[in-house]
Amino acid sequence: MKSIGLIALDLDGTLLDSRKRLSPRNKEALIKCARMGIQIVPTTGRAVDGIMEEIRMLPGVNYAITANGGTVADLKNARCLLRRTLTNEKTLEILSIADKYNAMYDPYINGRGITQPEFIDHMENYGVSPTIQKMVRATRDVVPNVIRCNNPLERKTSTQCSAKSACKLGHGFAALCLHLTKRFIGCRHDQILQHLNIIRVHYFLG
């Protein structure tokens, strides 16, 4: 029987229940896997900050694939191993298109989501369930206007962005990811396998 070196699994709708909780049964199963030396890798559309502490603290959870493959993170050492992100120009282009429609968008900058009041204060208008709303509020930074605070030209003339917000967003702008679709072109699991020197692996994905 081939040995298993890594289990990569989705969080929402797979490992977690409908209320975003880790069941005792799933927790115990993962602990047993960790005792066998298996790496447990959360593989999620969430940003790094969206991975709950209960999961981070599980034995065997050292790495994560986040933002639908946009970032491979070393959770224990709080560093990015690999990043596949959009350029500043392309990100602003996509945000400008999304802004023409009744859509809620939240780019990810350095592992955390950015949003604006008209979105986060009215999430029910976008079909976001109460459970997801709670999670979003805990993992987003709010700025007056996402596009203006991320556009260098707008930042020079707009009074909407505070100096603190503009500085913070500008610092991470080159590392911008968009949580738009699960078809995001990003990192594959084999990049983590190479990092861990794992040759054979079975994938258990949701």
Query: Is 141 known to be catalytic?
Result: no
Q: Are residues 40 and 59 in the same domain?
A: yes
Summarize pLDDT for 182-197 with one digit per residue, the tens: 333 344 455 555 665 5
Per-residue buried b or exposed e for 172-183, using 16+ beta carbons within 10 Å of the residue's own CB = bbebbbbbbeee
Of 10, 17, 49, 141, which residue is the catalytic one? 10
- Give a yes or no: residue 202 inside a domain: no
Task: Name which of 153, 167, 161, 187 is nearest 73 in CA terms.
Answer: 187
Query: SS3 for 96?
Result: helix
Domain that residue 65 falls in: 6-84+185-196
Q: Is residue 1 a part of any domain in this protein?
A: no
Does 17 share its domain with 59? yes
Q: What is the CATH number of the domain that holds 78?
A: 3.40.50.1000
Residues 95 and 64 grouped into a single domain: no
- Asked if the structure places residue 206 within a domain, the reply is no
Residue 67 lies inside a defined structural domain of this protein: yes
**Whole-number pLDDT of residue 32:** 95
Percent of the chain with pLDDT over 70: 71
- Are the C-beta atoms of residues 70 and 184 closer than 8 Å to each other? yes
Distance, first Cα to last Cα, the chain: 23
Q: Tell me the whole-structure pTM to 2 decimals.
A: 0.70
pLDDT digit string, tens, across residues 131-160: 888 888 988 999 999 888 766 555 444 444
Task: Answer whether 95's CB lies under 8 Å from 106's CB.
Answer: no
Q: How many domains does the chain have?
A: 2
- 187 versus 19: the higher-pLDDT residue is 19
pLDDT of residue 106: 84
Asked if residues 140 and 106 have their Cβ atoms less than 8 Å apart, the reply is yes
What pLDDT is attached to residue 26?
95
Q: Could you tell me if 96 and 170 lie in one domain?
A: yes
Q: Which residue has the higher pLDDT, 153 or 80?
A: 80
* Residue 146 pLDDT: 87
